[in-house]
Amino acid sequence: MTQHIQREATLAPDGTGGGYAAVLTAISGPAQGEDTVRRAVESASRHLLILRFALYNTAALALLGAAWMRGWTDMVFASDNTGLSLGIFLVFLAGLALCAIRIHAVSTELEEARAPRPRPGSRAAAYLAAVAGRDSGSRATEAARLKLVLSTAIAPVQHMANSLVLLGLIGTVVGFIIALSGVDPSSAGSVDAIAPMVAELIHGMSVALYTTLVGSVLHLWLKVNALMLSAGAARLVDRLVGRGECDARL
């Protein structure tokens, strides 16, 4: 019997050594396989919020790179000599960086909330310590306070995303002002004056349209990140409140 197992471990049906894994699985039973699958699932689920953030922004950066290679971004910044498009882009970068910091913090707290003993000093440990041994009313108050603290932490990202649209609208108004400032009704009959007026009109319309486009596109980009952050914060609140209620029943 032992020789038969050794032979099966040495040779697979195709003559290779692949039968070794099959024999080990047969000897160890399904428990080891289930434990391996469980560890793989837990490893994949860790920092899932960061993974989603990275995948989404990588895809968005790839699209931005494609637009840059086609010369579209250079056309936008070259046509807008007011600097409004560049200012909108800098506000977007600041909001994206802040969102990345907040997402990392929320993801870390989600891991702490899942741990059997959260790390001292973490938000999860502080909340569980605050609701330990308290009545239902006090636990509800702590849950409401936790929601308020997290919503306050993610509010700046949402405000910065909304401000991108407003900055785009300001660029629209500035562009129309530039376009209309070059029009002189008294010189409309002069052939030599028409060309400069048309050029200034086109320039103003370019500023108006490009700043609106940049503000709208970057608003959508940052808004999706803000929604991911908000969903992660809601998941953290749900996990901490649920764990606190379960501990209270024990």
pLDDT tens, residue by residue, 121-157: 899 999 999 998 888 888 899 999 999 999 998 999 9
Helix 191-249 vs helix 72-79: crossing angle, to nearest 10? 120
Mean pLDDT of the chain: 82
Whole-number percent of the chain with pLDDT over 70: 78
- At residue 81, the 3 state secondary structure works out as coil
Residue 207 has a pLDDT of 92
Distance CA 111, CA 102 (A): 14
- CA geometry: angle 234, 230, 147, nearest 5 deg: 45
Residue 13 has a pLDDT of 43
Distance CA 166, CA 18 (A): 63
| CA-only gyration radius of the chain, Å | 30
pLDDT digits (tens, 9 = 90+) for 47-80: 789 999 999 999 999 999 999 999 888 888 888 8
Mean pLDDT of 201-211: 90
Inform me whether the pLDDT recorded for 234 exceeds 70. Answer: yes
Inform me whether the pLDDT recorded for 217 exceeds 90. Answer: yes
Inform me whether the pLDDT recorded for 98 exceeds 70. Answer: yes
Task: List the one residue out of 221, 227, 232, 228 whose CA is nearest residue 91.
Answer: 221
Q: Show the tokens assigned to 13.
A: 């049906």
